[in-house]
Amino acid sequence: MNKSNKWDDKEIAATGTAVIILGGLILYWLLQMESTLELLELAYGSVKLFNNPLVF
């Protein structure tokens, strides 16, 4: 392994895949959060984590 060249093939490739996958997953969970909030709002008129029968 070439020590002077710190950013070698393996490190670039691993960083690249990690960035792509991590980005995709974060996007996925953000979209999930958004659609969940929308759905809860649609169902209850406001964002509530659980259904309170007295208010609903």
Partner 1 sequence: MLNSLLSRYTRTLSLVLVLLLVIVLELFEVRTSIYGVSLPFFEWMRQSFWLGVIGTTYGSLYATIEAVHLLSMAVIGGTVLAADLRLLGIIFRDIPSETLTQGTHKCFRISLTVSVATGIFCAAGVADKVYYMEVFWIKMLVLISGSCFVFFFKQPLLNSRPHDEINPWTLRLLAVTSLLIWFTVAATGRWIGFS
Partner 2 sequence: MINEWLLQFGQWMEAQQYSQMLVAGYYSYSWLEATHVLSLMMCIGSLFIIDFRMLGLIMPNVPATTIAARLHKPMLIGFGIMFFTGALLVYAKPVETIQSLWFRIKMILLVLAFINAWIFNARMKAADGTWDMDPVAPKPLRVGAIISLVLWCGVVTMGRYIPYDWVDCTNTDNATILWAAGCVEQLRAL
Binding site for partner 2 (CB under 8 A): 36, 39-40, 43-44, 48-54
CB-nearer residue toward partner 1: 3 or 53: 3
CB-nearer residue toward partner 2: 17 or 51: 51
- What is the C-alpha separation between 32 and 48, in angstroms, rounded? 16
CB-nearer residue toward partner 2: 7 or 50: 50
DSSP states along 13-50 = HHHHHHHHHHHHHHHHHHHHHHHHHHHHHHHHSS--SS
Check residue 22 for interaction with partner 1 (CB under 8 A).
yes
